[in-house]
């Protein structure tokens, strides 16, 4: 496979963000007198944006009378606590450095809210990412392909010249909806078998294995 651009998911693919997301959600649940979720529940709930994460975590979901207040509290708490335990997965920075040295264009397309994506990219990836797109009112979130198309336009490449790298069913479906090659990663939030079942051309176990594919 020959590509000009590599597009990555963020949470569960480049960054291990699970514990900070988990802590912020339980802060919200504590504040409103609800039972905490477990770390494994958090792992299964993330991937579709903050609203869906809250909907799955909060009793009665979107029908909960405090849903909007809980969403505001989550965003406020997470915004100042999203770097407590978050870190790149082992080998990710080395991979991104090598990709840039080989002159590939790079992007992040995430369902994390856009302000958080824009804050995290320069902190963790030090210029290795050319375009970063998070959830906003301007574009439908994954698995709609809109954010992928936006990234491709900004990178100046066709979808046939790029591949999408991710860890979840949402990522696999996003790539499928965009008509792109999807490569799964096994270290994130979903099982390898699921990623293969959803059309991954392969699932890698270590970041450096991507270099053999692209």
Q: What's the pLDDT score for residue 56?
A: 98
pLDDT at position 47, please? 87
Is the pLDDT reported for residue 2 higher than 90? Answer: no
Does CATH number 3.30.750.80 belong to domain 5-16+86-213? Answer: no
Q: What pTM does this model have?
A: 0.93
Per DSSP, the three-state class of 140 is coil
What sign has the CA pseudo-torsion 13, 19, 20, 26?
Answer: positive
pLDDT computed for residue 73 by the predictor: 98
Q: pLDDT tens digits, residue range 38-76?
A: 999 999 999 888 999 999 999 999 999 999 999 999 999
Backbone dihedral region for residue 103 (phi beyond 0: left; psi -120 to 50: alpha; all else: beta):
left
Say what the pLDDT of residue 34 is: 97
pLDDT of residue 126: 87
Place of tokens 């970041």: 207
The average confidence (pLDDT) of the chain is: 96
Lowest mean pLDDT among 111-120, 148-157, 174-183: 111-120
Parse the chain into domains and list their residue ranges. 5-16+86-213, 18-81
pLDDT at 1: 64
pLDDT, residue 48, reads 87
pLDDT of residue 162: 97
Q: Do domains 5-16+86-213 and 18-81 have the same CATH topology?
A: no
Which CATH code is given to the segment(s) 18-81? 1.10.150
């Amino acid at each position: 496979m020959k590509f000009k651009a590599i597009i990555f998911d963020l949470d569960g693919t480049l960054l291990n963000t699970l514990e900070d997301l988990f802590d912020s959600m339980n802060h919200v649940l504590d504040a409103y007198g609800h039972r905490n979720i477990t770390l494994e529940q958090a792992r299964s709930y993330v991937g579709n944006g903050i609203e869906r994460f809250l909907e799955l975590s909060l009793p009665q979901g979107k029908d909960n009378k405090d849903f909007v207040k809980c969403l505001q509290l989550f965003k406020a708490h997470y915004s100042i606590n999203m770097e407590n335990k978050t870190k790149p997965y082992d080998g990710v920075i080395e991979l991104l450095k090598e990709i840039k040295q080989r002159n590939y264009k790079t992007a992040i397309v995430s369902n994390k809210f856009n302000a958080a994506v824009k804050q995290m990219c320069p902190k963790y990836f030090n210029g290795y990412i050319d375009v970063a797109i998070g959830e906003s009112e301007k574009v439908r979130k994954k698995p709609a392909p809109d954010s992928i198309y936006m990234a491709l336009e900004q990178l100046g490449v066709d979808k046939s010249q790029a591949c999408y790298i991710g860890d979840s069913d949402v990522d696999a479906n996003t790539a499928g909806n965009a008509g792109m090659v999807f490569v799964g990663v096994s270290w994130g939030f979903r099982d390898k078998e699921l990623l293969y079942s959803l059309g991954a051309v392969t699932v890698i176990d270590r970041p450096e294995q991507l270099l053999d594919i692209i």
